[in-house]
Structure 1
Amino acid sequence: MPFVRTHVHHSSSPALRQAIVGGIHQALVESIGMPDAELFNLVAEYQSADFFYDRGFNGIARSERLVVVEITLRRGRSDAMKRDLYAAIAVNLQRSGLSPRDLFIFMHENDYSDWSVGNGAFAMALVQQPGND
């Protein structure tokens, strides 16, 4: 179950935010085989005065509306899967009108022992078994 944090410029409309979340989710499902029901994406907005970054870093011209995507998930995906995921996110978000130049993605990997996903239960004991609530 990946947990995603998406940071968007405060002027991003609710429709654009929804499209960004949907595009990331679709890419996770299609690229790494994440189950469709595992949507967890916390969207946070930033003001221009609160986010400082080099608009020309690595030779890529970025605007003032950078979208930052942080993905936390259990370790075990190959570099090829990650490469496909990043590319799929870029394609999906471009369909929403976001320039791929304004997309910054990074991943945090950890283990089952680093998660509790409900009822305070140690995720290692659950290993994606449905609850009985």
Structure 2
Amino acid sequence: MPLLHFHVVEGRSDIEVKAMLDAAHEAMLEIFDVPRGDRYQIVSEHKKTHLIVEDTGLNIPRTDKVLVLQMFSRPRGEEKNAAFYRRLTERLQEECNMMPSDVMVSVVENEDSHWSFGHGRAQFLTGEL
């Protein structure tokens, strides 16, 4: 946890997808200080016509390598979230040659009772986590 859901235009190779997931996980480890094995990632590929990411009037250029990342997480705070956005784009640029302008992140915060990691239990509430 957090759960990261990557939305990308179809066409990336398996190697490119793995590099993207690894870069995002490393950024999450650095900023949120979660355990290395705490990794939950989903990739959804979309036709180019099915993923529209406009710039909200900010003049942010986008390419076919655009990434919309939805992060579902317990509250992390404004400073941590902002640091994650910066580190994520740095790592994606360094390791995947992705432009920071192609990375959009949306954080969906939830509470401990909103998580079950298996066995029908809410592990944050039972004390297992």
* Consecutive unaligned residues in structure 2, runs of 5 or more: none
* Consecutive unaligned residues in structure 1, runs of 5 or more: 129-133
Give the distance between the partners of 1:74 and 1:54, measured in 2 at CA: 28
- Cα shift readout 1:57-97 (whole Å, capped 9, x = no counterpart): 4111111331111111112x221111111101000100211
- Cα shift readout 1:13-55 (whole Å, capped 9, x = no counterpart): 1111101101110011001111111011001101112122325
Describe how 1:32-111 pairs up with structure 2 within 5 A. Answer: 32-54=32-54, 57-75=57-75, 77-95=76-94, 96-111=96-111
Q: Compared with structure 1, are the counterparts of its residues 90 and 116 closer, same or farther at alpha carbon in structure 2 (3 Å cutoff)?
A: same
How many residues are paired up? 127
Q: Compared with structure 1, are the counterparts of its residues 35 and 24 closer, same or farther at alpha carbon in structure 2 (3 Å cutoff)?
A: same
CA RMSD of the aligned region, Å? 1.4
| Segments of 4+ moved more than 3 angstroms | none
Give the distance between the partners of 1:12 and 1:125, measured in 2 at CA: 40
SS of the residue corresponding to residue 17 of structure 2 reads: helix
Structure 2 contact 23–92 (Cα < 8 Å) conserved: yes
Identity within the alignment, %: 23
Give the distance between the partners of 2:81 and 2:55, measured in 1 at CA: 24
Give the distance between the partners of 1:119 and 1:57, measured in 2 at CA: 46
Amino acid at match of 1:14: D
Give the distance between the partners of 1:3 and 1:109, measured in 2 at CA: 11
SS of the residue corresponding to residue 58 of structure 2 reads: helix
With structure 1 as the length reference, what TM-score do the two structures score? Answer: 0.89
Give the distance between the partners of 1:98 and 1:104, measured in 2 at CA: 12
Q: Compared with structure 1, are the counterparts of its residues 56 and 16 closer, same or farther at alpha carbon in structure 2 (3 Å cutoff)?
A: farther
Task: State the 1:9 CA deviation.
Answer: 1.3
Quote the residue 1:11 is aligned against: 11
Structure 1 contact 67–103 (Cα < 8 Å) conserved: yes
Amino acid at match of 1:117: F
Quote the residue 1:26 is aligned against: 26
